[in-house]
Amino acid sequence: MGIDYSERIPNNVDLSGDRRLQRALEKWQPAFLDWWMDMGPEGWQAKDVYLRTAVSVDKGGWANFGYVKMPEYRWGIFLTPQEEGRKVGFGDHADEDAWQTVPGEYRNMLQRIIVTQADTEPASVEQQRYLGATAPSLYDLRNLFQVNVEEGRHLWAMVYLLHGYFGRDGREEAEELLARRAGDVDKPRILDAFNQECPDWLTFFCFTTFTDRDGKYQLGALAESGFDPLARTCRFMLTEEAHHLFVGQTGVERVLRRGVELAKQAPDGDARTLGGIRPATVQKYVNYWFSYSLDLFGSEISSNAADFFASGLKGRWQEMKRYDDHVALEAHVPMTVVENGVLTQQHVPMRNAMNEVLRGEYVSDCESVVEKWNKALEQEGSDFRITLPSTRFHRRQGIYADGHFDLQGNPISEEEWEAKRAGWLPSDEERRYVASLMKAVYEPGKMANWIAPPRRGIDGHTVEFEYVRV
């Protein structure tokens, strides 16, 4: 499938064959660029950045590297190739032909799912827009911008669906996506995690580890969708997501390694004495972003989720590969619920437990990341180990949101919560300390003192490569 680069919007969806859609998108593009200039990476729009651009969906072909000024990035629309004879895989329509147009009865539901997914993409760019001023290295600066432009492309991917399949409603929603703002009191982004601040690089690395990882699982569930254009769009988005997760995981690991190294050199054995970050501080940031990201899966028991599954719009993680029963009307999921402040076991019908099932997959994946961090701590000779808090800890959404729980998930009183929270979540003092370390290092190959260098560079280049021309 060739892409016509003479077109303004690179794509493999035969845009030029659909004048109406092309015009809608070409009208939205200047609005997107205005938004990007206003809300995208502050202070870096005129610089050359060594970025990867998708130019096709074939293996290898989608990763083209070169210097680009971000506003000139070719945000394109790419779907993985259509599978001949694809069927709806699950729910009440299992084995019917997959939908190539929007099924009328599910129009609202489908639009809501797409808008919610879409909203997170520009939100994350807004949250990260000031980080360029404090990058620990040019390597990290470039990775930040790579993540940013790709989240921009993910927005394009969703706006293509809204414009292409939802008529005037879709066009209005596409405009709204550029009007809401992360953290704005009057017009906030839809999901809570995307209204939180991302003021420092430790936060950025935790965000890309935990919040982008929600993206992996939500996109995975939508990649199973019976609405074929959504499935194909999400499959391609997933290929880009891997790099975002890499940036997060290796970023936190480098902070941990350097923290241990500095603690060993410090006369009092404290990383902070020599300007490092204590692993115990990293743990608190992990607690914060893990719990906020758990909220992104919605309530443990959800009739919305049951409807999404029943309608064939949103499946489970690797629905076709990993499950046999795609109707899911018989099975139940054991769940710990809170009744009058006491934890009890309940068996929830599978369809109503879909959010929790997806969250379970996510948690196991997070556990394997933590294992890698702990291996790094062990290699550095530290006894410290990172752990994930209970999924009940610090929740704002779902069945645990009303109570208070300790790190192990035991119910505690509000007084106890208030007394202990500074030991579990980053305190103001710790946030100020981390912020005080955030001083930009823009010399090729040099690293800020609080972070270890990466093992290798990007696209076969050395760590010393000039990833951004300052």
Among 111, 124, 137, 209, binds ligand BYC (CB under 6 A): 124
Among 151, 200, 224, 253, binds ligand BYC (CB under 6 A): 151
Among 11, 53, 117, 382, binds ligand BYC (CB under 6 A): 117
Among 54, 135, 191, 256, binds ligand BYC (CB under 6 A): 191
Q: Which one, of 353, 334, 352, 354, lies nearest residue 344 by Cα?
A: 334
Closer by beta carbon to Fe ion, 122 or else 398: 122
- Rounded Cα gap, residues 119 and 269, in angstroms: 44
Closer by beta carbon to ligand BYC, 126 or else 380: 126
- Beta-bridged to residue 468, according to DSSP, are 49
Strand order in the sheet with 468-469: 64-69, 48-53, 468-469
Among 91, 215, 220, 312, binds ligand BYC (CB under 6 A): 215
297 binds ligand BYC (CB under 6 A): yes
Closer by beta carbon to Fe ion, 142 or else 244: 244
Closer by beta carbon to ligand BYC, 89 or else 279: 89
Which range, of 10-18, 117-125, 156-164, 322-330, touches ligand BYC by CB under 6 A?
117-125
CB 304 within 8 A of CB 348: no
Closer by beta carbon to Fe ion, 212 or else 430: 212
Chain positions 276 to 295 lying near ligand BYC, rule: CB under 6 A, are: 295
Which range, of 34-42, 120-128, 177-185, 327-335, touches ligand BYC by CB under 6 A?
120-128
Using a CB cutoff of 8 Å and minimum separation of 24, what contacts does 338-343 make? 338/399, 338/400, 338/402, 338/403, 338/411, 341/403, 341/411, 342/411, 343/409, 343/411
Residue 150 CB: number of other CB atoms within 10 A?
23
56 binds ligand BYC (CB under 6 A): no
52 binds Fe ion (CB under 5 A): no
- Rounded Cα gap, residues 300 and 399, in angstroms: 6
State the number of binding residues for Fe ion (CB under 5 A).
Answer: 6
Which range, of 19-27, 82-90, 115-123, 318-326, touches ligand BYC by CB under 6 A?
115-123
* AA letter at 84: E
Among 129, 153, 154, 235, binds Fe ion (CB under 5 A): 154
Closer by beta carbon to ligand BYC, 259 or else 298: 298
Output the smallest distance, CB 463 to ligand BYC, in A: 26
The Cα-based distances of 148 to 115, 208, 467 in angstroms read 19, 11, 15
User: What is the helix (H) or strand (E) element at residue 69, kind and residue range?
Assistant: strand 64-69
Output the smallest distance, CB 209 to Fe ion, in A: 11
CA max distance for the chain: 69
Chain positions 218 to 247 lying near Fe ion, rule: CB under 5 A, are: 244
Which three-class secondary structure state does DSSP give residue 37? Answer: helix
* Residue 305 binding partner per list Fe ion, ligand BYC, none, with a CB distance cut-off of 5 to 8 Å that depends on partner kind: ligand BYC
DSSP code string of 388-403: PPPTTTT-SSSTTTTS
Closer by beta carbon to ligand BYC, 121 or else 253: 121
Residue 26 CB: number of other CB atoms within 10 A?
13
Q: Which one, of 117, 355, 119, lies nearest residue 231 by Cα?
A: 117
Q: Which one, of 273, 283, 250, lies nearest residue 376 by Cα?
A: 250
User: What is the helix (H) or strand (E) element at residue 67, kind and residue range?
Assistant: strand 64-69
CA atoms lying within 13 Å on the CB side of residue 30 = 4
Chain positions 299 to 338 lying near ligand BYC, rule: CB under 6 A, are: 299, 302, 304-305, 314
Q: Which one, of 249, 128, 256, lies nearest residue 199 by Cα?
A: 128
Nearest 5°: phi and psi at 339? -125, 120
Binding letters toward Fe ion, positions 181-220, x by CB under 5 A: -------------------------------x--x-----
Residue 138: both structure tokens together: 């040019």
Closer by beta carbon to ligand BYC, 244 or else 431: 244
Closer by beta carbon to Fe ion, 106 or else 194: 194
CB 282 within 8 A of CB 254: no
Residues that bind ligand BYC (CB under 6 A): 113, 116-117, 120-121, 124, 151, 191-192, 211-212, 214-215, 218, 295-299, 302, 304-305, 314, 355, 397
**Residues at the interface with Fe ion (CB under 5 A):** 121, 151, 154, 212, 215, 244
